[in-house]
Amino acid sequence: MKSFDYIRPATLEEAIAAGSQPGASYLAGGTNLLDLMKVDVARPDRIVDITRLPGLDRTEMHDDGTIRIGALVRNADLARDKAFAAACPAVAEALLSGASPQLRNAATVGGNLMQQTRCAYFYDPHSACNRRQQGTGCDALGGDTRNHAVLGWSDSCIATHPSDFCVPLTALDAVVEIEGPEGPRDAPLSRFYSLPDEAAPGGVDLAHGELITALRLPSDAASFAGHARYLKLRERTSYAFAIVSAAAMLRMEGGVIAEARIALGGVAARPWRSVIAEERLRDAAPSADLFVEAAEAVLQGAEPSGENAFKIELSKRLVIRALQRAAEGTPERMPALPASVFASDTGVSDHA
């Protein structure tokens, strides 16, 4: 690990000033950055420790229904916040399916949004990777592609975004609050991550020195609480990234789907939301045929980036399973195995 300067600012203004310097990186929980530094992928000249900044570690439930989550709120604390879990059960379930309890205790909301892909070629400094150094190529192409993208990829990058948390957040129209040298701004999470094209590998919508300060959910997020599920297929139920994951949320009125939200994880460089599939579900009664049609719509345009064609069919089946469970209703209690396909299918349709 290369040597670096360590700074612990006392205010947000001091943090942004320090983080705007060349070679600076922000540090919160460190569950991703420190790993990257240890394998010589990240080589910052200056670490700006933001863990002591005031006011960024609170979850606020506002009277108008909006929810504001500070960037330094720990993943475990947010998932176990009873008011938040009742309003956004699929988000809480996604959080509890990610990593180990020890990592969830350390990881932060802002850090979760900023974590890098888990592509093995990105983590290997001896492999060509456009994400590490644009223009060097992508050694993942033609390599081990089991866990790589089937949607929105290009020859410049076939990596997937690793977050569980961001999948239901994208479906719920979450907004990222950002502070930087040019002042504050908002960025919809659905556009916070750019897809790769032939010229660039994609990335996050943050200029150097900008810092995530909070995440905001709109007032209608809780309207899906009664019929919301997150499912995650992984190599093992504990402590593994998703091969494919799916968030499905329905707002039911009189036995009919008044509104639907669907997003996939593990299939693209960002959480993949399908507005087309959501529209096909609107104003229809839940049925097996309807869910199959929606799943086909979600995977429209999917193609393997290597030896991973199985992920397309797997994704369709997971969308169907997630919609079925959402239609049954959110469980009264969090499943013992959050987000697992092996957890009980039993739901409580009148859950509030």
Note the pLDDT tens digit of each residue in 203-222: 999 999 999 999 999 999 99
Average the pLDDT over 29-40 and give the result: 96
* Sequence-separated (6 or more) residues with CB below 8 Å from residue 102: none
Average the pLDDT over 52-76 and give the result: 97
How far apart are the C-alpha atoms of 98 and 189, rounded to whole Å? 19
Asked if the structure places residue 96 within a domain, the reply is: no
Query: On the CB side of 260, how many CA atoms lie within 13 Å of its CA?
Result: 31
Asked if the structure places residue 84 within a domain, the reply is: no
Q: Does residue 348 have a pLDDT over 80?
A: no
Asked if the structure places residue 29 within a domain, the reply is: yes
pLDDT tens column, 49-59: 999 999 999 99
Report the pLDDT value the prediction gives residue 349, as an integer from 0 to 100: 44
- Residue 33 banded pLDDT, cuts 50, 70, 90: very high
In order, the DSSP letters of 133-163 are STTS-BTTTTS--TTS-SSS-BTTB------
In order, the DSSP letters of 94-134 are HHHTSS-HHHHHH-BHHHHHHPPP--TTTS-TTS-BTTTST
Contact 158, 138 (CB under 8 A): yes
Average the pLDDT over 100-115 and give the result: 96
DSSP one-letter code for 278: H
Q: Does residue 346 have a pLDDT over 80?
A: no
Asked if the structure places residue 138 within a domain, the reply is: no
- Residue 347 banded pLDDT, cuts 50, 70, 90: low
How far apart are the C-alpha atoms of 203 and 234, rounded to whole Å? 24
Collapsing DSSP to helix, strand or coil, 215 comes out as strand
- Where do the H-state alpha helices sit in the chain? 12-19, 33-38, 75-79, 82-87, 89-96, 101-106, 109-114, 166-171, 189-192, 275-281, 288-298, 310-328
Average the pLDDT over 54-83 and give the result: 97
> In this structure, what token pair is assigned to residue 183?
């002042």
7 to each of 11, 33, 55, 124, 295, how far by Cα in Å? 12, 16, 19, 28, 48
Where residue 265 sits, what CATH number does that domain have?
3.30.390.50
Asked if the structure places residue 220 within a domain, the reply is: no
- 3-state helix vs strand vs coil in the chain, percent to 5: 30, 20, 50
> In this structure, what token pair is assigned to residue 246?
């799916």
How far apart are the C-alpha atoms of 171 and 262, rounded to whole Å? 6
- Residue 350 banded pLDDT, cuts 50, 70, 90: very low
Strand 46-49 and strand 5-7: the pairing is parallel
Asked if the structure places residue 344 within a domain, the reply is: no
Asked if the structure places residue 156 within a domain, the reply is: no
Average the pLDDT over 273-298 and give the result: 98
The parent domain of residue 42 ranges over: 5-49
Instruction: State the chain's mean pLDDT as an integer.
Output: 95
Report the pLDDT value the prediction gives residue 327, as an integer from 0 to 100: 97
- Residue 343 banded pLDDT, cuts 50, 70, 90: confident
* Sequence-separated (6 or more) residues with CB below 8 Å from residue 13: none
pLDDT tens column, 182-205: 999 999 999 999 999 998 999 999
| Domains in the chain, number | 2
Contact 202, 196 (CB under 8 A): yes
Q: Does residue 302 have a pLDDT over 50?
A: yes
**If you average pLDDT over each of 233-242, 288-297, 340-349, which comes out highest?**
288-297
Average the pLDDT over 73-99 and give the result: 97
Where residue 9 sits, what CATH number does that domain have?
3.30.43
> In this structure, what token pair is assigned to residue 49?
């420790």
- Residue 274 banded pLDDT, cuts 50, 70, 90: very high
Q: Does residue 337 have a pLDDT over 70?
A: yes
Asked if the structure places residue 70 within a domain, the reply is: no
Min mean pLDDT across 44-53, 112-121, 234-243 is at 234-243
Report the pLDDT value the prediction gives residue 237, as an integer from 0 to 100: 84
Q: Which residue has 């983590």 as its token pair?
A: 123
38 to each of 35, 48, 133, 348, how far by Cα in Å? 5, 17, 18, 46
85 to each of 89, 95, 224, 228, 231, how far by Cα in Å? 5, 10, 12, 11, 16
Report the pLDDT value the prediction gives residue 236, as an integer from 0 to 100: 87
Report the pLDDT value the prediction gives residue 342, as an integer from 0 to 100: 85
DSSP one-letter code for 201: -
304 to each of 181, 271, 299, how far by Cα in Å? 41, 17, 11
Report the pLDDT value the prediction gives residue 352, as an integer from 0 to 100: 39
